[in-house]
């Protein structure tokens, strides 16, 4: 029983809208006023959205430029302009090791996946230590202190009274002298990494 009143209301609404449209088209002054009003509303909404965005940024605090890998990087790779892109992240959310200065020309020390933020953990602080291309970097920790080592030193990797690698390159030395990042040939990386994980690997310096 409500169908007829609803149909009548819809017809009346269409007729009213049509009359208003015809009246607007015939009155240029009303057209200008409506155009100005629409522009004012659009400008207000844009300003409101901008203020909301600025408020959200202020709530997060200062932002810093960081560097993100654009493709997979392997230990020994040199970072080029094609290797990275810039990103802006809240400073309070950054790890202490996050790089905020361009790492162009530096060498990768650990495997980096696409989209990963570059840090001093996965990128060498300088290029003084050269990792031969194609070599792999392995972390070695020992129970007793290692011999005095410096980045760039050549060492032997030993496990179970057997020399696994001669001429490995020390990439970095951990605090306390009980750990080191060492670059080894790719064909030896799996064996060295396995012995290091078992706590059997150590280093001998000449």
Query: Is pLDDT above 60 for 3?
Result: no
For 57, other C-beta atoms within 10 Å of its C-beta total 13
- Residues in CB range of 169: below 8 A, 6 or more apart: 129, 130, 131, 132, 135, 152, 153, 154, 155, 182, 183
Q: Specify the pTM.
A: 0.44
pLDDT given for residue 53 in this prediction: 65
Task: Identify which of 141, 130, 143, 154 has the alpha carbon closest to the alpha carbon of residue 181.
Answer: 141
- Which of 51-55, 63-67, 84-88, 163-167 has the weakest average pLDDT? 51-55
pLDDT given for residue 61 in this prediction: 65
pLDDT given for residue 15 in this prediction: 56
> What does the alpha-carbon distance between residue 50 and residue 27 come to, in Å, rounded to a whole number?
35
- Average pLDDT over every residue of 100-119: 85
The confidence band for 2, taking pLDDT boundaries of 50, 70 and 90, is very low
Beta-strand (E) ranges in 52-105? 63-69, 84-90
């Amino acid at each position: 029983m409500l169908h007829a009143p609803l149909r009548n209301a819809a017809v009346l609404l269409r007729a009213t809208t049509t009359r208003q449209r015809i009246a607007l088209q015939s009155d240029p002054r009303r057209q200008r006023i409506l155009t100005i009003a629409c522009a004012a509303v659009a400008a207000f909404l844009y300003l409101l959205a901008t203020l909301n965005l600025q408020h959200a940024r202020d709530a997060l605090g200062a932002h810093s430029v960081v560097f993100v890998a654009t493709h997979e990087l392997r230990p020994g790779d040199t970072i080029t302009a094609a290797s990275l892109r810039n990103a802006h992240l809240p400073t309070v959310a950054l790890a202490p090791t996050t790089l905020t200065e361009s790492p162009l020309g530096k060498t990768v020390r650990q495997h980096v996946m696409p989209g990963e933020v570059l840090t001093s953990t996965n990128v060498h602080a300088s290029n003084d230590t050269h990792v031969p291309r194609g070599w792999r970097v392995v972390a070695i920790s020992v129970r007793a202190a290692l011999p005095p080592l410096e980045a760039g030193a050549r060492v032997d990797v030993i496990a179970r009274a057997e020399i696994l690698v001669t001429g490995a390159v020390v990439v970095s030395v951990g605090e306390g002298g009980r750990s080191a990042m060492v670059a080894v040939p790719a064909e030896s990386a799996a064996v060295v990494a396995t012995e290091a994980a078992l706590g059997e690997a150590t280093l001998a310096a000449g």
